Structure 1
Amino acid sequence: MVCFLCVKKASLVGAFFMPAFFAAQVQAQIQPQAFCSASEQLTYVSVKRVVDGDTLRLVDGRSVRLIGINTPELGHKGQTAEPFAVAAQRRLQDLLDASDGQVGLQYGAQRHDRYGRTLAHVFDGAGRNIEAQLLASGLGYQIAIAPNLALLDCQLAAQQFAREQGAGVWRQPVLQAPEELTRGGFRQIKARVRKVQVNAQGAWLELGAAVIRIDGQALKSFKRGSLEDYVGREVIARGWVVDRASRGRNKVGRARWMLILTHPTMIETLSSVKTTL
């Protein structure tokens, strides 16, 4: 799929040399226009309400989880909402209102998640992809989970735009060392890879107090032998962290925290020089 940004990259670079007030005006005009094109006929449906920044409840009773984005969590059970969680929810509501409460659905190759929610790319009345608009505004993180990768490239481009602008969650990215983790959920871990193990069930990248887990299906997306290149390098990995101690699955000598890595685009190398461990 192609991601269309209505201002060319050269224009974006030039914006950094404009007066601050003019650059801000240009940015405001660009962000809402980032979108991905649908690859098939859309099914338009009516939305009952916005649950959070990445979930909709339809009039027909279905819950729709937007593919390719994870927005910060709203506060539940007395917990404080994560930064930009409310902003993401409000932005999604604004996009819905501008589309007269109607959205087009492009269903994922995997149509439902383990919670029974419908997995779909969501488009506004003008055919613009809503996930990409949220990503371009920095109101969530791009996530890649096979086989629902139809709009991966253009959504990554939308996220990269937000990163370059320092928008939303990219203004001051929350990066945690494994030792700083206190609970599970979607996290960005920054650590040096100490060891890599690969077998028929998948792969493990050891980080000390945490381990990155890549299951056999996700491992197919990685180039053969590429994981060993991470050893000794500092990386940032994004994904859902599981507290193995809380589930009674942790054993003596094993890392308590396990981050589930679903695709190569969810991990990036920070250091180009390996450190001997």
Structure 2
Amino acid sequence: MIVRLFSLLFLTLFSFSLFASCPHVGWDQTVTLKEINDGDTVTLENGRLVRFIGINTPEINHRHKSRSEPYALEAKELLQRYIRAGDKLHLVFDKSKTDKYGRLLAYVYSKTGRNLALLQLQSGLAAHWVIGKNDRFWQCFQTAEKQARLRRKGIWSDFKPLAAANLKESDKGYVYISGRVSDLKEERGALRFKLDRKLEVIIHPSQLKVFKKNNVNFLLHDKLLLTGKLFFTRGQAKLTLYHPAQILP
């Protein structure tokens, strides 16, 4: 049966100004910068690595910089314009303070209070990611990413999502997919639907609570732009949604 989850996600998202900034918050910790590793990672004076929450910038090939991913060096250079070795940085933590590699996870601010992850998103040099439960600023981050995408800045300059109706196994991996909702139903507390009757999308019961909390609504025939890790099971294209941030406005 068709499942309604209260009001539309998109009404919530569009309530933000086109140029919205993230809420001002107090610092949890002030530290000293030793080195900028890349566009989303820095090293502190004490040797600790800090990974920026909420974004992913292109990867730098440190051995052969010419082989780095497009815009990777630009993302690092952007940080270099705002912070330098010896500067004080302000950290704000979320629900998880470390990752599986032992790195600190934080929203990182320059000594003047500039949100550096937000800066990368606004400049089109980072994609917005929600990993785990760290989603404190997901809505303002998503708004910033959307504006960069619409202006085709940086990594979005040649953005072209995959069409759900034309997916093939070679497309698997972290991708962006567009299509219309079909076959919408709830089973055993999970929400399942398809895009263009080709891509099977599932929201498991534990994650469905997050969508309800954020007032997400799915309707048959709605056109969606989704992001996540595409995989195939016995030829069936599948995508799991675990957070509303995977639905791009």
TM over 0.5: yes
Q: Which amino acid aligns with 2:243?
A: H
Q: Which amino acid aligns with 2:122?
A: A
Structure 1 gaps, min length 5: 1-7, 13-33, 245-249, 270-277
Change (3 A) 1:161 1:206: closer
Report the secondary structure of 1:169's partner residue: helix
After superposition, the C-alpha distances for 1:29-82 in whole angstroms (9 at most, x for unaligned) are xxxxx8535422341223333333222233333322211212234459999544
After superposition, the C-alpha distances for 1:69-110 in whole angstroms (9 at most, x for unaligned) are 12234459999544323322322333332x744321101112
The equivalent of 1:259 in structure 2 is 239
Change (3 A) 1:90 1:153: same
1:198 aligned residue (186, 189, 192): 186
Counterpart contact for 1:205–1:213, Cα < 8 Å: yes
Higher relative contact order (CA 8 A, sep 6+): 2
The equivalent of 1:234 in structure 2 is 223
The equivalent of 1:216 in structure 2 is 205
Q: Which amino acid aligns with 2:51?
A: R
* TM-score, length-scaled by structure 2: 0.72
Counterpart contact for 2:54–2:129, Cα < 8 Å: yes
Tell me the distance in 2 between the aligned counterparts of 1:261 and 1:114. Answer: 22
Tell me the distance in 2 between the aligned counterparts of 1:80 and 1:158. Answer: 28
Tell me the distance in 1 between the aligned counterparts of 2:127 and 2:207. Answer: 19
* TM-score, length-scaled by structure 1: 0.66
Change (3 A) 1:161 1:73: same
Shift of 1:128: 1.1
Q: Which amino acid aligns with 1:91?
A: L
**Residues 52-201 of structure 1 correspond to what in structure 2 (within 5 A)?**
52-74=38-60, 81-97=68-84, 100-145=86-131, 147-177=133-163, 179=167, 182=170, 184-200=172-188
Identity of aligned residues (%): 30
Shift of 1:149: 2.6
Change (3 A) 1:234 1:60: same
Aligned residues: CA RMSD = 3.5
Structure 2 gaps, min length 5: 1-16
After superposition, the C-alpha distances for 1:164-190 in whole angstroms (9 at most, x for unaligned) are 433222332131235256365432122
